[in-house]
Structure formats: C-alpha cells, structure tokens
Amino acid sequence: QSSQGGQITGTLLVGGVQSHVLFDSGASNCFITPEWAESSGIRSSAGERAGLVKVAGGGFLATSGRARGVDIQIAGQSMPADLVISPVELYDVILGMDWLSFYRVHLDCYRGRVVFERDGGRLVFQGVRPTSGSIVISAIQAEQLIERGCEAYLATISMAGSSGEVVFEDIRVVREFPDVFQSLTGLPPSRSDPFTIELEPGTAPISKTPYRMAPAELAELKKQLE
C-alpha cells in the first residue's frame, strides 16, 4: 500500500452498513478496519490467514485475514470487493487499485467524482475530495484512534467579546411568556413569621457514637459482653 495518487471519499453501503469510504488509487488493495468489520458482521473468509502489508514509509501493518466478496452498493449497483482486515486510520473502508481497475474506475479529483466506465455508458458517483486542512471524523472513529494511542485534545468554542452571562431575553421560552418570567428587582421580601421548629424543654442535640456493625450484630455483642 502506498500513499500517492488521487483520493476521494464518500459514504457507501458496505456489507449493508453505511460506511465512510476512501477511494484511493495509491493503495494496492482494499482494506477494512477490524472494529468496523466486527460491528458490520463482516468475517474473514475460510482459508485466509493473518499477515503483513507494507505501507508508505516502509512500515508494515498487521492483517487478520481477508473478507472476500463483500457487497458494496453504489447508485443501486452491487460491486463486491475483497477487503483485507487491517487497522487503517481515519476511514472505515479503503477501496484500492485492485477494485478500481476491476470496475474500470476513473477518479476525477478536481470535481470529487468517481466515474465507472461501463459497456452501457458511464456511472458517476459524487464524492468529496479530501482537503489538506482539518478532517471531520465520527465519534466512533475518534474512540478507535484514541485506543490505538493517538493524542486527543478537548477544545471549546466561545464567542469573542462575550461575557458568558445568560440574558433572559435571549431564551425563546422567556420571550413567549414575559408575564411569567418577570425580571427580579432584588431579594425576596422578609417573612413576617420566621420558620422555626419548637423543641421540648431540656432537649439537647443527639450524640451517638457510630459503629461499623449492623444493629443486630451490635446487640448480640453487648449480650456477650454482659
């Protein structure tokens, strides 16, 4: 698997499940992450063994088999693929050159389109061209990346110049019922009769030493000591 070539992303039905897919002419094979394969009910085919695949930069990724003939739906057309089960990043499924060449696919990266040359004409799937800026991923993908040791940062967004205080007039329900949500002019008035609880003469605060025993156990212990 290499990293050069055109890339287009899209959402497709893979094995009957909506999946985030990368069309990558720089990948020699098709891949699916182990987590997505498990959640989608996709299993390695009989006779397929675990192994290694070479990636850009000379490194290797471990594989846990290959799922053959996995159904992929594009514009109502079934285009099965053989998916190598391997922990690739950012995408659920990667469709590489073996699949692209078999279905005579042309990647129009300028328009973000995937064009299939067919005997009866052309089939066009409108995808999205990945940008060099920020990449939006799902919460599940974020959890998978964090579990693999990737660094994660939690950030908050606030309006510049905002004091952070909530203004009642900005709340829709308050605007609909102004007579109910009237602005407070100050503290509530003092009570004419302060709330008190009258005690019997000579009553003192209850003081009882706590025990780490159930009442029944404590009673039995007292009997034995007596």
- Check if the beta carbon of residue 127 is closer than 8 Å to that of residue 9: yes
Task: Map tokens 């006779």 to a residue.
Answer: 47
Query: Which segments within 55-163 are labelled E, that is strand?
Result: 60-63, 66-70, 72-74, 77-78, 81-85, 93-95, 105-108, 113-118, 121-126
- Check if the beta carbon of residue 33 is closer than 8 Å to that of residue 110: no
Tokens of 186: 């100050």
What pLDDT does residue 6 have? 64
What pLDDT does residue 70 have? 94
R_g of the chain, CA atoms, integer Å: 33
Question: Which strands, in side-by-side order, build the sheet including 121-126?
Answer: 105-108, 113-118, 121-126
The answer to the question of residue 165 being in a domain is no
According to DSSP, the residues that pair with 20 across neighbouring strands are 11
In the predicted model, residues of the chain with pLDDT beneath 50 are 1-5
The pTM score is 0.54
The answer to the question of residue 12 being in a domain is yes
The answer to the question of residue 70 being in a domain is yes
The answer to the question of residue 220 being in a domain is no
CATH of the domain at 102: 2.40.70.10
- Check if the beta carbon of residue 123 is closer than 8 Å to that of residue 69: no
What pLDDT does residue 152 have? 86
The answer to the question of residue 21 being in a domain is yes
What pLDDT does residue 2 have? 40
**pLDDT tens track for 199-225:** 888 877 776 666 677 778 888 888 888
The answer to the question of residue 205 being in a domain is no
- Check if the beta carbon of residue 8 is closer than 8 Å to that of residue 74: no
The answer to the question of residue 81 being in a domain is yes
The answer to the question of residue 82 being in a domain is yes
Task: Map tokens 């005690």 to a residue.
Answer: 199
Provide the number of structural domains found in the chain. Answer: 1
Containing structural domain, residue 75 = 7-131
